[in-house]
Structure 1
Amino acid sequence: MLEGLAGWQLVCLAGAAWLVVLGIRKLIDSRVERAQEQLQGPQVARVYLNGIEIGSLPVVHHKAMLARARRDLRLYLAQAINVVRIGGCMLLALFVFVPAVWLAGITLCLLMEPAEAGSVVQQVLVVLQQPSAEKAGLFIQGALQVSLFLAAFLVGASYLMSQGRLYGYRDVFKEAVHYQLRQEMEAPAQGEVSVLYWAAPLAMSARA
């Protein structure tokens, strides 16, 4: 099946599969968040700087800040530039992973089945030494396609496991909101801001 695809088609197929997985993950996360909100009832957004709570605000207020940030066209431009940079980094990583896949495969074969690995190498040399350049080219093409597919899988998996940070992903919308929160709560400019939703205390719910 993969042998009938060109290299760029294989990369596009792997990229499309990665986008589908990412979209499904986003959908699941949003539904889980909504379900938690319905189960927990009223919530409060607690703001942390480097893991230390520096304040809190109503969840509605925090979501309104996010909504205002998403209406800022300049942030969309900044996010688009960030996505282009991520694409370049992932493309570079794809070609870096190809020799890594070959090296890992050869190492595993030599460690687990050295005799079988030797026979495979001999068969590969026989194919490459054939007088027909077309057959040798097709063999190399097939090997590269499989390597590209495995490399694309590794790149996608590393992106998901690192939540994109390994390749420089930035959520500029959240960063804009975090900047506003720093100003409102007079927090230092340095440090990582995070916002977590917690169930509001009963007393707070009663006053609300």
Structure 2
Amino acid sequence: MTASIARVHVNGIEVGSLPAETYNAIANKVRKDRRLYLAWGFAAAAALLNLLARFYRSLPSVVVGLLLLCAAISPETFTGIVAELKTANPDAITYAVRKLLGFICITFAVMAPMVAILFPGFVRFQSPFDQALSREIRSLLEVPAEGLLKVVIGHPKSE
């Protein structure tokens, strides 16, 4: 029985291969580096803050868009909203805005993980573990190209 081989692809092009045991040893070495856990935490927090900033940047456009949509679809409802805002007590408006903001924050907290899972490219999270593993393997195989590293472990072809 032959040993498994890890075939290494960078940007979809096979750049070399190495024994699967060597690959597993490198992967275990990377997983044992405690600094990468801290770096992963910072990268995850940065990705979440970036998603939150993008959400809040788009929030005024969404609110104005919804008001314009309401005016186009149901002018009576829009007129009623404007009339209520003109006659409402400022404390009642502040209370309503605070409630709406709380609802929006809870909705964001529920939707953010689902967006990250369903649309992984939208979040732009790069794992420090994957980067370190890629750097180690490219250094071992002397591959200067940066890019997406893919490792396929299989048995060598028998001739």
TM-score (norm 1): 0.60
Letter in 2 for 1:133: P
Match of 1:127 in 2: 84
Higher helix share: 1
After superposition, give the CA deviation of every residue in 1:123-175 in whole Å (9 maximum; x if it has no partner): 21232223433332233234334444555566545433442x54442211121
Q: Which protein has greater RCO, CA pairs closer than 8 Å, 6+ apart?
A: 2
Q: Distance in 2 between matches of 1:68 and 1:198?
A: 18
Match of 1:79 in 2: 40
- Secondary structure of 2:146's match? coil
- TM-aligned CA deviation for residue 45 of structure 1: 2.8
Match of 1:101 in 2: 62
After superposition, give the CA deviation of every residue in 1:165-199 in whole Å (9 maximum; x if it has no partner): 544422111211111111221111x3214223354
Q: Distance in 2 between matches of 1:115 and 1:193?
A: 47
- TM-aligned CA deviation for residue 69 of structure 1: 0.8
**Structure 2 segments unaligned to the other structure (5+ residues):** none
After superposition, give the CA deviation of every residue in 1:15-51 in whole Å (9 maximum; x if it has no partner): xxxxxxxxxxxxxxxxxxxxxxxxxxx8643211221
1:178 and 2:139 are equivalent in the alignment: no
Letter in 1 for 2:46: R
In 2, are the aligned partners of 1:45 and 1:58 still within 8 Å (CA)? yes
- Secondary structure of 1:47's match? strand
TM-score (norm 2): 0.74
Match of 1:4 in 2: none
Q: CA RMSD in A?
A: 3.1
**Structure 1 segments unaligned to the other structure (5+ residues):** 1-41
Q: Distance in 1 between matches of 2:107 and 2:62?
A: 7
Pick one of 25, 31, 34 that aligns with 1:64. 25
Count the aligned residue pairs: 157
1:92 and 2:53 are equivalent in the alignment: yes
1:169 and 2:130 are equivalent in the alignment: no
Match of 1:141 in 2: 98
Match of 1:197 in 2: 152
In 2, are the aligned partners of 1:101 and 1:147 still within 8 Å (CA)? no
Q: 1:142 to 1:119 in 2, by over 3 A?
A: farther
In 2, are the aligned partners of 1:43 and 1:198 still within 8 Å (CA)? yes
Identity %: 21
- TM-aligned CA deviation for residue 115 of structure 1: 4.6
